[in-house]
C-alpha cells in the first residue's frame, strides 16, 4: 500500500510526561514510527514524502488563534527565558466552567492551558513541524484516493484524534483524521465516514463533526467512565442538530476480550454501510493490542489482519491514519497487518 511517511516526525521528541506524579519517558515516542517504517520497508510497501500543503484544510478544521498559538508556541516559550530551551512547557491552569475562554491571555502558560485539555501532551521545538507533516500526509493521501487509489496509509506521528478545533490533548496537536475527512469533502465526496478504532475515544474528531450529517463518526473504545479521555465517548452521544444520528459511540468495558471488540466492529460496519459513504477514514490506533502499556484490550497480531480484511469488505476508498499504540516494537507488525489484510481481501 502506498504510505506517506515523513522524517519530520522525529522533530517531535519531548523527553518526558507525567505519570502518577513522576516524570516518565514519553509513551508516544519517535521509536514508534521507526518500527512502522522498518516493517513497511521489510514487507515491500512504498514510502512517499507528503507533497500537499494542508494549510487550507487546517484552517477549516482548527481555529485561527489555535493554529497561530501552536505554530509559535516554542518560540514564545523560548522568548520568556533562553534557559527554556532545555525545559518542556506544561499547562497548569485551565478555563473550566464559569471561566472565560473567549479572551486569549497574554501569559504563555495561561494560553497553553486555554488550548490544552490535559497536561499530558508535551511540546518541544519540533512539534509544529512534525504535526504539520502529518496533516500534509492526510491531504496527500486524499489526493491519491481522488486519483483512484483504493487504500493509502499515513504513517504519521504525533497522533491527532484527541485534538479539537482549538485544543491539543492526549499526545495530539492537529487532527489528521479530521483533516482527511474534510479534504475528502472538498474533493467532492458527499458522504464520508470516520471509523476510530484507537483504544481511546476520538473526542476531537467527534466534536469537529458532531453537528454534521455529511461526516459520520463511529468509534470503538474503552469506556470513558474509567478510560481516557473520560469526558466524552459515551453511548448516548448521537449527534446534534443536522448531525443527529451521525455519531455512534461503542464503548466497551476496560479489559474486554477481542471477541467483544469484533462484535462491536460489526455494529460499526453495519452503521457505516447504511451511511453509504464515498470514502472512509480510519483512525488507526493500535493501543487495543494485548501488549499495550497504557491500555486494557487484548487484540493480538493476527486480529489486525482480520480488521484489515473486514474493512476491505466495506468496498470504499480508505485512508488509514496512524493514531495511538505504545507497544513500540510490535507497532510496525500490527499496523502493516491491518493494511495487508485490507489489500488481501
Ligand atoms: C492518541 C492516544 O492514544 N492518546 C492517548 C493519551 C492517553 N493519555 C493518558 C495516559 C495515561 C496513562 N495511564 C496509564 C494507566 C496504566 N495503568
Ligand atoms: Zn489511544
Q: How large a percentage of the chain has pLDDT more than 90?
A: 100
Q: Whose CA is nearest to atom 14 of ligand 1?
A: 294
CA 191 from chain centre, in angstroms, equals 20
Instruction: Write the DSSP assignment of 224-281 as a string of letters.
Output: TTTSTT-SS--TT----GGGTT-EEEEEE-TT--HHHHHHHHHHHHHHHHHHT-SEEE
Atom of ligand 1 nearest to the CA of 162: 1
Longest CA–CA span in the chain (Å) reads 56
What pLDDT is recorded for position 345?
72
Instruction: Write the DSSP assignment of 182-226 as a string of letters.
Output: HHHHHTT-S-EEEEE-SSS--HHHHHHHTT-SSEEEEEEEE-TTT
Query: Each residue of 28-71: pLDDT tens digit?
Result: 999 999 999 999 999 999 999 999 999 999 999 999 999 999 99
Q: Whose CA is nearest to atom 7 of ligand 1?
A: 170
CA of 228 relative to ligand 1 center, distance in Å:
6
Query: Each residue of 144-172: pLDDT tens digit?
Result: 999 999 999 999 999 999 999 999 999 99
Query: Each residue of 199-252: pLDDT tens digit?
Result: 999 999 999 999 999 999 999 999 999 999 999 999 999 999 999 999 999 999
Q: What is the mean pLDDT of residues 8-34?
A: 97
C-alpha cell read off for 220:
470503538
Site to substitute for ligand 1 among 228, 284, 287, most atoms within 8 A of C-beta: 228
For all residues of the chain together, what is the average pLDDT?
A: 98
Atom of ligand 1 nearest to the CA of 326: 3
CA 94/CA 116 separation, integer angstroms: 8
Amino acid at each position: 500500500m502506498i504510505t506517506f511517511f515523513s522524517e519530520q516526525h522525529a522533530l517531535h521528541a519531548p523527553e518526558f510526561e507525567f505519570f502518577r506524579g513522576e516524570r516518565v519517558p514519553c509513551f508516544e515516542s519517535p521509536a514508534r514510527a521507526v518500527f512502522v517504517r522498518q516493517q513497511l520497508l521489510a514487507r515491500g510497501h512504498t514510502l512517499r514524502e507528503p507533497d500537499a500543503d494542508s494549510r487550507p484544510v487546517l484552517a477549516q478544521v482548527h481555529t485561527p488563534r489555535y493554529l497561530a498559538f501552536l505554530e509559535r508556541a516554542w518560540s514564545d516559550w523560548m522568548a520568556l527565558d533562553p534557559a527554556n530551551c532545555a525545559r518542556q512547557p506544561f499547562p497548569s491552569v485551565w478555563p473550566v466552567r464559569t471561566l472565560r475562554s473567549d479572551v486569549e491571555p497574554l501569559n504563555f502558560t495561561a494560553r497553553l492551558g486555554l488550548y490544552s485539555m490535559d497536561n499530558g501532551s508535551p511540546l518541544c521545538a519540533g512539534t509544529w513541524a512534525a504535526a504539520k507533516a502529518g496533516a500534509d500526509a492526510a491531504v496527500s493521501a486524499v489526493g491519491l484516493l481522488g486519483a483512484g487509489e483504493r487504500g493509502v496509509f499515513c504513517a504519521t506521528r504525533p497522533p491527532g484524534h484527541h485534538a479539537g478545533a482549538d485544543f491539543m490533548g492526549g499526545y495530539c496537536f492537529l487532527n489528521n483524521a479530521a483533516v482527511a475527512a474534510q479534504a475528502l469533502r472538498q474533493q467532492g465526496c458527499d458522504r464520508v465516514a470516520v471509523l476510530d478504532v484507537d483504544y481511546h475515544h476520538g473526542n476531537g474528531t467527534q466534536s469537529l463533526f458532531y453537528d454534521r450529517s455529511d461526516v459520520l463518526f463511529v468509534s470503538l473504545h474503552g469506556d470513558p467512565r474509567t478510560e481516557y479521555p473520560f469526558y466524552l465517548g459515551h453511548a448516548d452521544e448521537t449527534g446534534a442538530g443536522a448531525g443527529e444520528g451521525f455519531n455512534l459511540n461503542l464503548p466497551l468495558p476496560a479489559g474486554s476480550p477481542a471477541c467483544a471488540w469484533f462484535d462491536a466492529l460489526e455494529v460499526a460496519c453495519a452503521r457505516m454501510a447504511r451511511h453509504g459513504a464515498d470514502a472512509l477514514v480510519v483512525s488507526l490506533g493500535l493501543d487495543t493490542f494485548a501488549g499495550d502499556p497504557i491500555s486494557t484490550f487484548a487484540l493480538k497480531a493476527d486480529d489486525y489482519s482480520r480488521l484489515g480484511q473486514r474493512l476491505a469488505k466495506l468496498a470504499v476508498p480508505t485512508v488509514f491514519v496512524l493514531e495511538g499504540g505504545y507497544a513500540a516494537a510490535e507497532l510496525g507488525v500490527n499496523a502493516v497487518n491491518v493494511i495487508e489484510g485490507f489489500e488481501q481481501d
